[in-house]
Amino acid sequence: MHCLHPGDLFPFTRKPLFIIVDSSNSTAYKNFSNLFGQPLVCLLSPTVYPKSVQDQSQRGSLFTLFLYSPLLGFSSVCGLSSVRRGLWERAQDFLRKVFRDIGQMLTRSRSIDQAFLQFFGDEFLRLLLIRFVFCSAALRLHKLFRESRSFPESYPELPKQDTVESGLLQKQVLELAAMLDVQSLFWDDSLESY
């Protein structure tokens, strides 16, 4: 009764709509009906997290943390409670390069749904979308996140080969892990881990 259901948002689909759903029932929005043909994007949180990843739901979820501060989210999922200032700045600089590359992946993809590109002109939404792709790639490579329900999803679905499972992005996630000395927490060759 006190929940927001996908049907509650149908009137808002008369205009372009970008939604972030951070909930243990986010999959309810996976097949959102687009009644009016306007651009519609839903970024959906994982529905479960590995038991060994601390539940911080009282302070916000890991998904929200990744969207707010990707390096903080990455550090949190790796169990890092502190990072030296110089290393933090180097990692932030590295992430800026990664984000530029993700932006290029999204705009160059031939199979991406046009709804994503409709929102790409808005700087804030573009940043959220890029951080979403980074979060999804990082969690897919992390050894603790093996269940498909532990990965963020989107509606419409992003082309995985061009984005979250891109060889370049996987290499960059592993480089960041090496920079922070947590590479043992990630699959070195993600293709063999599936």
Q: What is the mean pLDDT of the chain?
A: 91
Distance CA 96, CA 90 (A): 10
pLDDT of residue 31: 84
pLDDT of residue 142: 95
Distance CA 172, CA 166 (A): 10
- Spans of the chain, pLDDT less than 70: 54-59, 189-194
The reply to whether omega before 70 is within 30° of 0 (cis) is no
Contact 91, 152 (CB under 8 A): no
Each residue of 24-65: pLDDT tens digit?
A: 889 989 988 888 999 999 999 999 988 877 555 556 789 999
Contacts of residue 177, Cβ cutoff 8 Å, sequence gap at least 6: 78, 183, 185, 186
Q: Residue 139 class from Cβ within 10 Å (0-12 exposed, 13-18 middle, 19+ buried)? A: buried
pLDDT of residue 91: 97
Segments making up each domain of the chain, as ranges: 6-181
pLDDT of residue 50: 87
Q: How far is CA 142 from the centre of its chain?
A: 13
pLDDT of residue 192: 46
